[in-house]
Amino acid sequence: MQRRTFIKKSSLTALGISLLGAINWNGKGIFADNALKVNGQRIEGRILELAKFGMDDSGHGYRVAFTKGDIEGRAWFKELMKKAGLEVSVDAGGNIIGKRKGKNQSLKPIAFGSHIDMVPDGGNYDGTLGSISALEVIEVLNENKIVTEHPLEVIIFANEEGGTIGSKALTGLLSAEGLKKVSQSGLTMAEGIKAVGGDPDNIQSCIRKKGDLHTFLELHIEQGGILENENLQIGVVEGIVGMMDWDVTIEGFSNHAGSTPMNMRKDALLAASRLVIAVNEIITSVPGKQVGTVGKIAALPGASNVIPGKVTMSLEIRDLAIEKVEMLFGEVQKRAEAIAADSKTNITFQPQFTIKPALATKPLLEKINASAKNLGFTTKFMQSGAIHDSQNMSLIAPMAMIFVPSVGGISHSPKEFTKTVDMTNGANVLFQTILDVDKG
């Protein structure tokens, strides 16, 4: 944690700096401390309040997109947005939009936000920090009676965890095929979007074109351990990995586990197991930071005395270069063909969503870095291994992200945690960056 110590009057005088309480020392350098600040306690309180939506009796969070917890959490969030004076609507993609007028309504809006849905048994900070901090920016502007030059838009994206669905819709990337895919909630994307107040039949109506927004900014927890390991306060995100994912089906033959000799089986789970290992071998066979995961698997019919006749599982591969993802998937397919032939099974891959890698806009990165430095924070330019709505948004607007440390580098887990001081630092950087962007 950063320790701030006020410079003694005598040393200020020696430096020729007037003593207005506006100058501070963090042990590394002098920085301006007269900037308006967010209310960290309010952020923490709201994070904990939001965590209750979708929480089970044992305190674990299941606010999966389109489920009851998500719908109720969104209603709570919309109410707060309205209380903060935002003009709130839900677009056809199910995204919550909160608008605040600027002095010059002919300027393009500065947009910022994140998501409030979570993975099953997920953490309380992924997405929620950026969402609640976006609202906090509005609260502080209201409290200080500041009207920005540009209109502002808080955007809370629908179903980020299911493939950045809301931001895909908003940027014109959600196809009719995509709307038919089944989400983690069990509803199709179209049904889920409808359940949260969107209009999948008119999905085109929410599309924003390139140039419709001045900027898009997202504050997020790092979800990795780099900032914590290096004892740094703010990550300035230069690039976000791309991802492709597939539903994999392995078809064998269900038969009696006692009377079917080992050499006469078509065991789908055995073939799936070999494929899981093959994925790991292929991903680790080349240098680089690529990752590949099978995170979900189901064997049917699912009885101890029946040879599994069918397995469904997921596969996702990520890298900063989508060509590398495609190349690695090609290798997985080759191995799958060999495994299928050997095990007398049939293996098919059904593509789900492709999320392209994205680079942030350089001048925005510089503004984030300068805002963080002015507030006295240590920074690092880094990449994101997690996917984010920001990468779709980069197709239509200059985009950049701000990271704050995740304790232990843990995320997508109930153990996910970010300290209040770090959340507050991140929200202050977001706030100052927005003010800076508004000037330029």
Binding residues vs Mn ion (CB under 5 A): 126-127
Quote the CA–CA distance of 240 and 364 in Å, as a whole number: 15
SS3 287: coil
**CB of residue 389 to Mn ion, shortest distance in Å:** 8
Distance of CA 154 to the CA centre of its chain: 15
**CB of residue 284 to ligand GLV, shortest distance in Å:** 20
**CB of residue 117 to Mn ion, shortest distance in Å:** 9
State which residue, 156 or 435, has the beta carbon closest to ligand GLV. Answer: 156
Subset of 229-258 contacting ligand GLV (CB under 6 A): none
**CB of residue 24 to Mn ion, shortest distance in Å:** 32
**CB of residue 408 to ligand GLV, shortest distance in Å:** 17
Q: Which does 35 bind (CB under 5 to 8 A by kind): ligand GLV, Mn ion, none?
A: none
State which residue, 240 or 372, has the beta carbon closest to Mn ion. Answer: 240
State which residue, 127 or 308, has the beta carbon closest to ligand GLV. Answer: 127
Quote the CA–CA distance of 239 and 204 in Å, as a whole number: 28
Q: Which does 387 bind (CB under 5 to 8 A by kind): ligand GLV, Mn ion, none?
A: ligand GLV
Quote the CA–CA distance of 393 and 399 in Å, as a whole number: 7
State which residue, 127 or 405, has the beta carbon closest to Mn ion. Answer: 127
Regarding 393 and contact with ligand GLV (CB under 6 A), the answer is no
**CB of residue 316 to ligand GLV, shortest distance in Å:** 8
Size of the site for ligand GLV (CB under 6 A): 3
Q: How far apart are the first and last CA of the chain?
A: 32
Q: 376: phi > 0 → left, psi -120 to 50 → alpha, else beta; which?
A: left
Residue nearest to Mn ion (CB): 127
Considering only 257, 386, 395, 421, the residue that binds ligand GLV (CB under 6 A) is 386
Task: Please give the sequence-ordered ranges of beta strands (E in DSSP) within 338-431, or none if there are none.
Answer: 346-355, 358-359, 379-384, 399-404
SS3 133: helix
C-alpha distances (whole Å) from 161 to each of 104, 157, 179, 335 are 35, 10, 15, 29
- Of 233, 164, 224, 157, nearest to 383 by C-alpha is 224
Any bridge partners for residue 242, and if so which? 319
State which residue, 25 or 77, has the beta carbon closest to Mn ion. Answer: 77
Query: 366-392: b or e for each residue (b if 16 or more CB lie within 10 Å)?
Result: ebbbbbbebbbbbbbebbbbbbbbbbb
**CB of residue 161 to ligand GLV, shortest distance in Å:** 6
Q: Which does 319 bind (CB under 5 to 8 A by kind): Mn ion, ligand GLV, none?
A: none
State which residue, 85 or 239, has the beta carbon closest to ligand GLV. Answer: 239
Considering only 110, 137, 190, 387, the residue that binds ligand GLV (CB under 6 A) is 387
Q: What angle do CA 434, 435, 438 make, to 5 degrees?
A: 85
Query: 203-216: b or e for each residue (b if 16 or more CB lie within 10 Å)?
Result: beebbbeeeebbbb
State which residue, 387 or 397, has the beta carbon closest to ligand GLV. Answer: 387
Q: Which does 395 bind (CB under 5 to 8 A by kind): ligand GLV, Mn ion, none?
A: none
**CB of residue 117 to ligand GLV, shortest distance in Å:** 10
Regarding 161 and contact with ligand GLV (CB under 6 A), the answer is yes
- Of 306, 329, 310, nearest to 319 by C-alpha is 329
Amino acid in the structure at residue 185: S
State which residue, 164 or 343, has the beta carbon closest to Mn ion. Answer: 164
**CB of residue 175 to ligand GLV, shortest distance in Å:** 20
C-alpha distances (whole Å) from 408 to each of 74, 124, 322 are 29, 15, 29
State which residue, 127 or 292, has the beta carbon closest to Mn ion. Answer: 127
Interface residues toward ligand GLV, by CB under 6 A: 161, 386-387
